[in-house]
Structure 1
Amino acid sequence: MKRLLIAAGGGGDAIATAMVHAALHGPDEPALVLTYAWERLVVDPVPGPRRPSDFTGTVTAGPTLRLVTPRSAPRPPAGSLLPRLSADLRPALGLLDPYAGASGLARQIEEAAAYCEAGHVDVVDVGGDILADGTEPTLRSPLGDALVLAACARTGIPTSVHVVGPGLDSEVPEAALLPLLGDPLHTLTHADTLSVQAVFDWHPSEAGALLVAAARGIRGVCGTRDAPHPVTLGDASPHVYRLTLARALEINPLARALAESASLADAERASERVCGFSEIARERARAAQLGQEAGESPGGGTAPSEPRPLPRALPRPLPRPLPRPLPRPLPERFAEWERRTADSGIAYVTTRRIAEELALSPAQLTALRRHLSTATPARHTPPLWRLAAVEA
């Protein structure tokens, strides 16, 4: 027998779900975490979620349910961190495929319950957008969470909904969530993070990193890359809250609208009606923009360059080019960036924000991490980085 849990939002929610499971039931209790392979363009250049046919090496656990293992791999051009994540997390990982809407997800959850011999489902969401009403101006990715709620309701299996780290995903503000959540079920501690501590050396999840930092006692304003405004880690940030499935459905109108959805296209249309947008359509537009910036033609591949006309006469000799200035040392570039960031009131930053705003290659990021950890050991407060202004 295994406990059955669902990481409602996919991506980094699987990490938080493993941590919540370890905190509530012990890290050694067998468990299966169902999660989407929906890891956004930072990991996967193909818009939307991946399905089992997008992977090799999955394990069959039911007619429609597949498990992701360290031997699994995404089929190019798709990308996914789930195979590597399955090696670092103790619970097994099962793949949620939303392409048949809530009805298809319900079948997968029922198969997972039979596989685990589980009579109960625990849904876990980092941040709280699973309780979004669809009108929040900062809402970006409500669809996966709402589909999970709708699918769980279709199964009839008793289900609890856990919200952890309210507001940490920058989608629904903490102040709007706390009146809906009641008293916390559990407060995560440093000990609860030990089972996932190595994951953030390589995984880009920012909400998950903030949750781990909060559990380790870090408090203050944190700057992330994937959010319009900084996040403040406060006393509620490491809390785990539990709601009934009925209460979550009562709050979430998109989940109710998805009850009869039989395809992902149905789900997109429901999101457009309730929330005014489709996050998958936004991903398609962003992927197309990135492709154009990289020089791809609309039909794929690299856009051909225009042929240059032959010169009418021999060109005049070009002036000798001025020597290019030597690139500044990486620590110097970081120090300048750090001063600007700290001046905006930010005390901590994620690794992803450093890497993306400084446009660092993996080798450069490794070198910078080594420099900051050895030259100023107090700067690294895993999995975040403390800016110099905090040290004064």
Structure 2
Amino acid sequence: MTRLIVAAGGGGDAVAAAMLHTALYGNEDQAVILAYAWDRLLIDPIPGPRGASDFTGLKRMTPAVWAVPAKARPIAPAGSTLPRLATELPHTFALIDPHQGAEGITRQLEELVNHLTPQSIDLLDVGGDILARGDEPTLKSPLADALTLAACCQVNAPVRLLVAGPGLDGELPLEALRGMLGPLVHTFTAKDVEPISAVLEWHPSEATSVLAATARGVRGACEIRDAGLPVPLTDESPTVHEVDLDEAVSRNQLAQAIMATATLEEVEAHSREISGYSEIDYERNKALWLKEQPPTKLDPEATLAQLDQFEGEARARGVTHTTFRRITEALNLNGTQRDDLRQLLINSRPERYDAPLWRVSAES
């Protein structure tokens, strides 16, 4: 049997989809994970999502859908984690190409459903920002989730909306989400994390890393993103809940507005109107800023001194853990230095590594 999982928001949702498949369906069923190639600027220096024309080595599944096999490569200078995921995980990864708007993604989904006749279709979002109205002040990246939601609700097939790790992406707090969460579907455990543990050692996703850490029993408060958003790590963090798809659509103003869009530019225009911004504009501006920063070599002694200062300030804010992305940006390093930073920290202070998070104090 084939299970189709749509990774709602790009980045780590595809990794979480792999974890979800094993937890819910085991290893006997085949998983096809439909995901964006949208890894933000730490991995991909080009703003926005990649389309099929940005890759070589893709494999056509249907007229509108391409699989991303291990041999696929993004065309430089673009980047993508999908080929490496296809190398390390036993699933088929298919590319969501949003450049023809919600109509294009709906067409992709319909073709996949007809081609695969899947036993089930799950739309998975880590964090829960797919349940936003679109104008919340804490919302940072509504566009991708709204697009997949708009497409999934127009497919002539039953789609189950799942939210994993409610509140863990730092966009909508758990308190705002709790009333919308439906039945508990699963609570992730350390055993569920094992199939993706190697991926978490290199993948930059924050929300999925936090989700995996809570499944392993980490509790406290984690600071994420460049803004240092605090995320509580509680017993509710590793849960997966079903949410009524129609209710989510009726709440999500951006998803409603973009259902008939035929280009990504149209989607962005609606996002600016409803949310007050386009997250791709934010990436464009940040990419220009990063381009102006001179390349520097990591200075271990200076970096560890900066880390000490950051950790002291974080502890004063009540923080117990943070992500390597947060440290990279807090220390004003660029994305190319993230892996070097990570190795420096783990080699220098291994007792602080609560995989895949960093503990800001030596106490357990």
TM-score of the superposed pair, with normalisation by structure 2 = 0.92
1:79 match: 79
SS of residue in 2 equivalent to 1:388 = coil
CA contact (8 A) 1:151 1:259 kept: yes
CA contact (8 A) 1:103 1:154 kept: no
SS of residue in 1 equivalent to 2:145 = helix
Which residue identity is paired with 1:384? L
Match of 1:371 among 348, 355, 361: 348
1:339 match: 312
Identity of aligned residues (%): 45
Partner Cα separation in structure 1 for residue 38 and residue 2 of structure 2? 24
Partner Cα separation in structure 1 for residue 127 and residue 359 of structure 2? 22
Which residue identity is paired with 1:223? E
Pair 1:350-2:323 in alignment: yes
Taking the TM superposition and a 5 Å limit, the aligned residue runs for 1:252-271 are: 252-271=252-271
Pair 1:249-2:246 in alignment: no
Corresponding pairs, count: 357
Structure 1 residue 227 displacement after superposition: 4.3
1:315 match: none
TM-score of the superposed pair, with normalisation by structure 1 = 0.85
1:101 match: 101
1:118 match: 118
Taking the TM superposition and a 5 Å limit, the aligned residue runs for 1:220-369 are: 220-294=220-294, 328=301, 331-358=304-331, 359=333, 360=337, 362-369=339-346
Partner Cα separation in structure 2 for residue 210 and residue 390 of structure 1? 19
Which residue identity is paired with 1:253? Q
2:155 match: 155
Structure 1 residue 47 displacement after superposition: 1.3
Structure 1 residue 267 displacement after superposition: 1.0
In the alignment, structure 2 segments of 5+ residues that lack a partner are none
Structure 1 residue 148 displacement after superposition: 0.8
2:190 match: 190
- Give the CA RMSD over aligned residues: 2.1
Structure 1 residue 347 displacement after superposition: 0.7
**Per the alignment, do residues 172 and 333 of structure 1 end up closer, same or farther by CA in structure 2, a change over 3 Å counting?**
closer
2:55 match: 55
Which residue identity is paired with 2:282? R
Partner Cα separation in structure 2 for residue 331 and residue 249 of structure 1? 46
In the alignment, structure 1 segments of 5+ residues that lack a partner are 296-325
Greater Cα offset, 266-275 or 206-215: 266-275
Structure 1 residue 39 displacement after superposition: 1.3
CA contact (8 A) 1:193 1:215 kept: yes
CA contact (8 A) 1:165 1:240 kept: yes
**Per the alignment, do residues 219 and 200 of structure 1 end up closer, same or farther by CA in structure 2, a change over 3 Å counting?**
same
**Per the alignment, do residues 243 and 336 of structure 1 end up closer, same or farther by CA in structure 2, a change over 3 Å counting?**
closer
1:21 match: 21
CA contact (8 A) 1:104 1:262 kept: yes
Structure 1 residue 348 displacement after superposition: 1.1
Structure 1 residue 332 displacement after superposition: 5.0
SS of residue in 1 equivalent to 2:170 = coil
Partner Cα separation in structure 1 for residue 313 and residue 228 of structure 2? 17
Structure 1 residue 328 displacement after superposition: 3.3
Which residue identity is paired with 1:345? G
